[in-house]
Amino acid sequence: MKYEGIILRQISGFYDVLSDEDVIQCKARGIFRKEKITPMVGDKVTIDRDEKIIISISNRKNQFKRPLVSNIEHLGIVIAAKDPVPDHLLIDKLIMSALINKITPSLVINKTDLASKEESERFENEYQNTGYSIFKISCKEQIGINDLKEFYSDGIICLAGQSGVGKSSLINLLCADTSQQVGELSIRNATGKHTTTHAQIVPLPTGAMLIDTPGFSSIDVEDIAPQRLHYYYAEFDPYLGHCHFDDCMHDFEPKCVIKKAVNDGKVPSTRYERYVSILRSLQDKKGRNIR
Ligand code: GDP
Ligand code: ZN
């Protein structure tokens, strides 16, 4: 019988496929090797339940090396309201990287128990007119976790952010109602050595699925053409196309409506300044490639 399913994890050539609430350990059809396709965690697959074989793999929405997962739907960018000091450039790049890969970014401000109201609100103000969802939580005091669970109600979720912001703490809280083991699985292979498996995804009670190891690369940002960078700033949207020059990059150009919006306080100056710094690095890179 043929069934649809999703690959939750991969252990030494076997794939655990979630199908109709059962987890079935399958092998991949031999033909995949010939076609140079390797099934990966996150893949939507068709399996033969009797033969325990993966028959086909649906087209991937996106796929990553780190984490080695496909079809990511949500990127939860975790920030600490206090300790460590936020790396805003990283946050901005993670947002862009999500957008490049058709992923919905959301911002999760953790450790609100350590920060004053003003400190937590500073981040909100910085990102509020991007339109992305912003959550204020405390893993320590378990505040705001249920709202987050409700928001992440479908698709595969990846958490990313600086070290020490509370990603692992949050993964543990989100998975608290599941029977799944979280963290890298360590298994003994035939020679008795411990091998570490790749990331796995954990089905949550809401229907969403969480990648159990944090991390997401923002390397794709380096491939953005400088003149396209402004499309990755949602708060620039209402102004794009209204600058004096059609090809305005909102840098040195006169009569620029983005710069005016920054001066009028409609676009946060900090976001704009980081836009310029990323723009310069993309232009430098392009210049180097041409030479
Ligand atoms: P990761 O590196 O992003 O995975 O961060 P961890 O989950 O390992 O957390 C880093 C440190 O912050 C740990 O000592 C946690 O106990 C602590 N921590 C996590 N969430 C909170 C929180 O909401 N409030 C406070 N005060 N500490 C937290
Ligand atoms: Zn402009």
Ligand 1 centre distance from Cα of residue 167 (Å): 7
Are 248 and 274 within one domain?
yes
Ligand 2 centre distance from Cα of residue 291 (Å): 27
Q: Check if the beta carbon of residue 242 is closer than 8 Å to that of residue 257.
A: yes
Are 116 and 240 within one domain?
no
Are 50 and 156 within one domain?
no
Alpha helices (H) in the chain, listed in sequence order: 31-34, 88-100, 117-127, 145-151, 167-174, 257-263, 269-290
Distances (CA, A) of 119 to 39, 78, 124, 136, 285: 44, 15, 9, 11, 35
Question: Looking at the domain assignment, is residue 10 inside a domain?
Answer: yes
Residue bearing the CA closest to ligand 1, atom 14? 164
Could you tell me the CATH number of the domain that includes residue 7?
A: 2.40.50.140
Are 144 and 84 within one domain?
yes
Are 156 and 206 within one domain?
yes
Amino acid present at 55: I
Residue 214 in contact with ligand 1 by CB distance below 6 A: yes
pLDDT band at 189 (very low <50, low <70, confident <90, very high): very low
Ligand 1 centre distance from Cα of residue 164 (Å): 6
pTM above 0.85, yes or no: yes
How far is Cα 213 from Cα 254, in angstroms, rounded to an integer?
46
pLDDT in tens, 65-92: 989 999 999 999 999 999 999 999 999 9
pLDDT band at 288 (very low <50, low <70, confident <90, very high): confident
Are 83 and 171 within one domain?
yes
How far is Cα 183 from Cα 186, in angstroms, rounded to an integer?
9
Are 20 and 151 within one domain?
no
How far is Cα 180 from Cα 148, in angstroms, rounded to an integer?
19
Residue bearing the CA closest to ligand 1, atom 10? 164
Ligand 1 atom at minimal distance to the Cα of residue 165: 3
- The parent domain of residue 17 ranges over 2-59
How far is Cα 277 from Cα 46, in angstroms, rounded to an integer?
46
- Rounded (5°) CA angle 213-18-184: 20
Q: Which of 15, 152, 218, 58 is nearest to 144 (CA)?
A: 152
End-to-end CA distance of the chain: 58
Are 171 and 73 within one domain?
yes
Ligand 1 centre distance from Cα of residue 99 (Å): 27
Ligand 1 centre distance from Cα of residue 124 (Å): 20
Are 142 and 176 within one domain?
yes
Question: Looking at the domain assignment, is residue 170 inside a domain?
Answer: yes
Question: Looking at the domain assignment, is residue 35 inside a domain?
Answer: yes
Confidence at residue 188, expressed as pLDDT on a 0 to 100 scale: 44
Ligand 2 centre distance from Cα of residue 244 (Å): 7
Ligand 1 atom at minimal distance to the Cα of residue 163: 2
Are 233 and 271 within one domain?
yes
Question: Looking at the domain assignment, is residue 217 inside a domain?
Answer: no
Residue bearing the CA closest to ligand 1, atom 6? 166
pLDDT in tens, 97-125: 999 999 999 999 999 999 998 988 888 89
How far is Cα 180 from Cα 108, in angstroms, rounded to an integer?
23
Question: Looking at the domain assignment, is residue 291 inside a domain?
Answer: no
Residue 140 in contact with ligand 1 by CB distance below 6 A: yes
Ligand 1 centre distance from Cα of residue 136 (Å): 14
* Domains in the chain, number: 3
Per-chain mean pLDDT for the chain:
91
Residue 111 in contact with ligand 1 by CB distance below 6 A: yes
Among the candidates 185, 212, 239, a domain finishes at 212
101 Cβ contact partners less than 8 Å away, ≥ 6 residues apart: 62, 64, 72, 220
Record the tokens describing residue 64, joined without a space: 């990553």
Ligand nearest the Cα atom of residue 267: 2
Q: Tell me the residues surrounding ligand 2 (ion) with CB < 5 Å.
A: 243, 248, 250, 256, 258
Could you tell me the CATH number of the domain that includes residue 239?
A: 1.10.40.50
Minimum mean pLDDT among 52-66, 204-218, 255-269: which range?
204-218
| Sign of the alpha-carbon dihedral angle for 270, 275, 277, 278 | positive
Are 83 and 198 within one domain?
yes
230 Cβ contact partners less than 8 Å away, ≥ 6 residues apart: 236, 240, 249, 250, 258, 275
Are 203 and 83 within one domain?
yes
Produce one character per residue of 145-156: b if its CB has 16 or more CB atoms within 10 Å, e if not.
beebbebbeebb
Residue bearing the CA closest to ligand 1, atom 9? 166
